[in-house]
Structure 1
């Protein structure tokens, strides 16, 4: 038995050991240890930093220099194109990961290869001087992100027992805001150019992912899973009528992530153009720190409490409502002070939602033989919203002419609908 794993002792009922429903749905029978969890969380720190710092800071700054008059439109189009790429790539990469065979391992190969591809795409993005080529380069980056996350999300179901997944999900989402804060802080503190910022976060991505890839022990795939194009294409279809809980969980994740992304994607422009703060970059960093602290606290607390209680849905519902209230508050009373309150509510609600929702999702997967593919579909609800949110937000701000109040009201409505959708899952408490 690996040194960092310890056996699970299921609860005894009347002297008989009874496995939980969550454990029964998983092949994993041993807890992952602290070292595994830390390395997993550190890898996710790198991915969140590499994905979100460009969206929050580097891409907007780059476009403000390339095409200042059309920066909102350009940002929306670039993220719309890259979102479409991710929409296709995520489930395909997951299906390929399920059926891959290599001496390096099926999950490790996709994590390592996707990480290198993502890092190369980041540097390529930083070199662009026209918004059209910038869109192509950022879309190339999304291919790498899709490939890597296909393996990273599948390892949770491969290696983590059901009753530990709330805590492990915290290791996925707790680093999210931290990655943004660290990335923005480094770029701002060192006064980096856009290209230098991309290079730094690409290097950080590689360094932070290496420990997990190096130490991860693969779970042998089930016999008979071979890589054939017909089977890969056929596996992409999911019968939502046969698996309604999977559909409800996907809808909830998509909507909540979209609401959160709508609330954060144009923060820099909101501070600059609507609130007209004196130091928009510094205020953005301060708001992100508030978001981070709230997200870190609620991510860990909600994940642990959910594991101990065996309940998922009530945590998800409360967290979604908290995010909705943040959007409605900022829509009704826009101002610097309210922005900080809303940032705490949005971060706290999002942290709690995602840590518990990730655990819930692993319990509604349709088929153990296609874990990475099914999780790839679910990853659409995580990766695509940050990409398409600028497009929708741009339409609300410029196209509809209603400005930022309409944007933040949409944040509230979307988060609320997402919470309702996830709560409709019936096979998980």
Structure 2
């Protein structure tokens, strides 16, 4: 494929796994396939988060839907916490003629698709919980290895631009997923499996074309359980900027988790819409948010590269997202709700584009542990999926079931994500 990767970056022989910082700029063919794989993974993972798991839980346990959904997402997020760094670490140490990343990408998508099939056929919430835990493990293995391609192949001066493109992938997956659910709404099986199949094909395209790094047997250290466990911890005192960036991402994503998890209930209980209309309404809101992200993400990523600045973009983006959540809290119609969603879209687009480029410059050991370190960082993406459902019932109980207060608190948490970036010293 012309333009897949710059000619000087193509390996003529197996590349050492502990490679130096890539110098050659990647081509747009490479960026396109990487983006398709990333979007496909989010399509398979986020469609259940946004729509289908909530509807399935409501179908199986209508009287305890909110509590059951919190249980499923909360426990499932714990498995995501494990999956991302562990599979990232395994990928960094994988000896295979197919490379370090590709086996985990393909295997993870196949396993995740099987887990979604289990949820679609589940007879009760307990089986839904098991299926979702397996899906979180599998899809987080894919995310850990796909994101590791960025520091593996993209030079630092191009990462803002490429990360800006990747920043569009999550909303594209969201829009694609909610659209697919609308078109196959009459079939529970298809609502789960259509996104999984399309996502798997997208990842397969990257797997077939990726000039993956290959680790030679002599480069793998003997397995030491204690060292392996220690490697899953990064000392914040030795790497304070990485720690602050992790905290910022955790706080920001916690704010987003309230919206993604409780949007269906907000539309039903606060704005008075019927359950049957929720898939269409979520598609509309997701489309609005995605449009803003698709506009903001590549522009901010490219501008961040041009100015050689990361911090101002991340700080402003988190503050913008918080403002959007507060506008949602104040909404009393679907139209005003969409205004708040649009503002969150701008904040999310800028934040994820520039913050991803930022963290690749702060990895403690890019040469040896890129996937593992990114996996540890991605705990900040997964942990909020457990934290938000854990604290949401308490907020709702204290507020008498008022979703306004739920989103006011969510906005405050997201705003703290902007404050956490301010202490960074090694990146401007």
TM over 0.5: yes
| Local SS of the residue matching 1:251 | helix
Runs of 5+ consecutive residues of structure 2 not aligned to the other structure: 9-18
**In the alignment, does 2:275 pair up with 1:276?**
no
Q: Distance in 1 between matches of 2:207 and 2:388?
A: 31
Q: CA deviation at 1:333?
A: 4.0
**In the alignment, does 2:225 pair up with 1:226?**
no
Q: Which residue of 1 aligns with 2:285?
A: 287
CA contact (8 A) 1:40 1:171 kept: no
Q: Which residue of 1 aligns with 2:410?
A: 411
| Local SS of the residue matching 1:423 | coil
Q: CA deviation at 1:66?
A: 0.5
TM-score relative to the length of structure 2: 0.92
Select between 83-92 and 331-340 the one with higher mean Cα deviation.
Answer: 331-340
**In the alignment, does 2:170 pair up with 1:176?**
yes
**In the alignment, does 2:118 pair up with 1:119?**
no
Q: Which residue of 1 aligns with 2:425?
A: 426
2:344 to 346, 349, 365: 346
**In the alignment, does 2:263 pair up with 1:263?**
no
**In the alignment, does 2:123 pair up with 1:129?**
yes
Q: Distance in 1 between matches of 2:386 and 2:200?
A: 22
Q: CA deviation at 1:188?
A: 1.1
Q: CA deviation at 1:226?
A: 3.1
| Local SS of the residue matching 1:31 | coil
CA contact (8 A) 1:26 1:161 kept: no
Q: CA deviation at 1:229?
A: 4.1
Assess, with a 3 A threshold, how the Cα gap between structure 1 residues 26 and 306 changes in structure 2: closer, same or farther. farther
| Local SS of the residue matching 1:266 | helix
Runs of 5+ consecutive residues of structure 1 not aligned to the other structure: 9-24
Q: Which residue of 1 aligns with 2:390?
A: 391
CA contact (8 A) 1:159 1:219 kept: no
Q: Which residue of 2 aligns with 1:18?
A: none
Assess, with a 3 A threshold, how the Cα gap between structure 1 residues 192 and 391 changes in structure 2: closer, same or farther. farther
1:75-90 equivalences in 2 (<5 Å): 75-90=69-84
How many residues get paired? 412
Q: Distance in 1 between matches of 2:7 and 2:99?
A: 24
TM-score relative to the length of structure 1: 0.91
Assess, with a 3 A threshold, how the Cα gap between structure 1 residues 291 and 227 changes in structure 2: closer, same or farther. farther
| Local SS of the residue matching 2:378 | helix
| Local SS of the residue matching 2:6 | strand
Cα deviations by residue, 1:16-63 (Å, 9 ceiling, x for unpaired): xxxxxxxxx961011111111000111111111111110111011111
**Alignment root-mean-square deviation, CA:** 1.9
Q: CA deviation at 1:114?
A: 1.2
Assess, with a 3 A threshold, how the Cα gap between structure 1 residues 194 and 34 changes in structure 2: closer, same or farther. same
Q: Distance in 1 between matches of 2:222 and 2:112?
A: 24
Q: CA deviation at 1:321?
A: 0.7
